[in-house]
Amino acid sequence: MDIMNYGLREKYDQLKRFGDRLSDMKTVIEWERIRPLLNDLYINNTEKGGRSNYDPILMVKILFLQSIYGIVDESIEKEIHNRLDFMNFLDYPESVPDARTIWLFRERLSNNHKDKKIWKEIWKQFKEKGITVKKGTIQDATFIESDPGHGKHRKGDGTIPIYLDQNPVKEPSESDHNEEKTSKREAKTARKIEIEQKKKAREEERKNAKTRRSKDGTWTVKNKRSHFGYKLHTIQDSDNDMILNYATTTASVHDSQIDLSIPGIVNYKDKGYFGVEGRGIDAAMDKAARGHKLPVESIRRNLRITRKRSRGERPYSVIKGIFHGGHVFVTTVPRVRVKNMFMCLGHNMICVIRMKNKGIIA
């Protein structure tokens, strides 16, 4: 330990008296058990030498910090140097990777689906603490907004053309009326064709864009509100709020198309999942057919399910309210999936700390 790190640790000890959530999160899991999953991410570990890689555990922790504090790649390096709690969480690294290095590591993580392997390993550790599903599960989904971006549109030079009418005004004849109707129909048809062509051009531009804010995001409408971006689908324990599994899709994918249920365990769902069979024991709310009211038995059943599902929004209130994860700046589904995994992990860590403080687990 050099004199600089010694001074930082001394200063952090003074700061810790005021409380540090990250210090508690640091010890919730054994980070070193993730290392074997990440060793094959680098391909330059040979005898040829070269610049040494950053510690993969350090990189994973940085991605975790980004996700739970809503910090973009360009700002995280500065934030690490500025905050003692960040430095302590990262074990006072000698050097901090720049934005490009962090971006490349996230790409490797997403392209090799390492986020799923990390999730499984961490849940293995949670189970070793005695955390298991006992009563049932709740499945739901929430929008993760993104910036749609704008294509380049051709603009005029700003001048307004002036036309001089050289012909005197005359009363319109019947033939003039017919010609006017025909021209209106032709203009309307031409306008439809133009709109369709522009729509196809925008779609082609979206597919081929390299700098578009969100290349994979899609539009959808819910409750008369438009949303662009992605969806986070989760299934949680109905008793302790722990997120058991997650999935990431574009915003236009319907909730019912994703099944995260566990065989043999009750899965409470809202009306959007009505009529869709899953692997678990179905407990979706009944939905009335058009023009028909729900019978009293179904209404009472829905009320019972609603009470069970009342905890379903808690993870999203943490992810969006505390982690500020309701809006992302990454541009593809795999990248959003990695960020969602770390946000779900952060929520689970909060749940574990709460259960530990209550004496539910050791």
| Same-domain status, 219 and 205 | no
List Cα–Cα distances, 166 to 159, 169, 179, 237, 251, in angstroms: 22, 10, 21, 79, 56
Cα angle 207, 103, 78; round to 5? 130
User: Which of 106-120, 185-199, 281-295 has the least mean pLDDT?
Assistant: 185-199
What is the predicted pLDDT for the residue at 176?
60
Query: Tokens representing 44?
Result: 């330059």
Domain that holds residue 40: 3-112
Residue 181 — φ and ψ, nearest 5°? -65, -45
Cα separation of 334 and 356, whole Å?
33
Specify whether 185 is located in the same domain as 265: no
Residue 210 scores a pLDDT above 80: no
Task: Kindly tell me the burial class for residue 157, based on how many C-beta atoms sit within 10 Å of its own C-beta (0-12, 13-18, 19 or more).
Answer: exposed
Whether 126 is in a domain gets the answer: no
Domain identity same for 59 and 142 = no
Same domain for 103 and 184, yes or no, is no
Residues 289 and 330 in one domain: yes
CA 334 to chain centre: 10
- pLDDT tens-digit profile of 271-294? 999 989 899 999 999 999 888 899
Q: Are residues 222 and 320 in the same domain?
A: yes
**Better pLDDT: 262 or 51:** 262
Q: Output the pTM of the full model.
A: 0.79
Question: Considering only CA atoms, which of 315, 166, 288 is closest in space to residue 234?
Answer: 315
Do 220 and 352 fall within a single domain?
Answer: yes
- The number of domains in the chain is 3
With a CB cutoff of 8 Å and minimum separation 6, the contacts of 48 are none
Mean pLDDT of 122-140: 95
